[in-house]
Amino acid sequence: YPNPVKNTAILNITGNTSNLAITITNLLGKTNWQQTGVNTQRLAIPVNTLANGVYLVTVNNGKERIVLKMVKE
């Protein structure tokens, strides 16, 4: 949250939060931001350098993968 986002997106994660990989890609599949080894339930993601548009935020713990839609304005 918030969605749409302007500067910083806050990602609240439930369940297994051990050794997560979080990736932001545009709709063409280009990786714009990535962080691995995340071990927290709340993560602030800086998005102020991203162009306005729609992005996909992927959270992967090695067993499950969740994809969320994020709008940057």
- What is the rounded CA–CA span in Å between residue 20 and residue 62? 8
Give the other-Cβ count within 10 Å of 70's Cβ: 20
Phi and psi angles of residue 8, each rounded to the nearest 5 degrees, phi first? -135, 125
Q: What is the mean pLDDT of residues 36-56?
A: 95
- What is the rounded CA–CA span in Å between residue 37 and residue 68? 19
- What is the rounded CA–CA span in Å between residue 19 and residue 55? 22
pTM of the predicted model over 0.85: yes
Chain mean position to CA 55: 9
| pLDDT confidence of residue 59 | 95
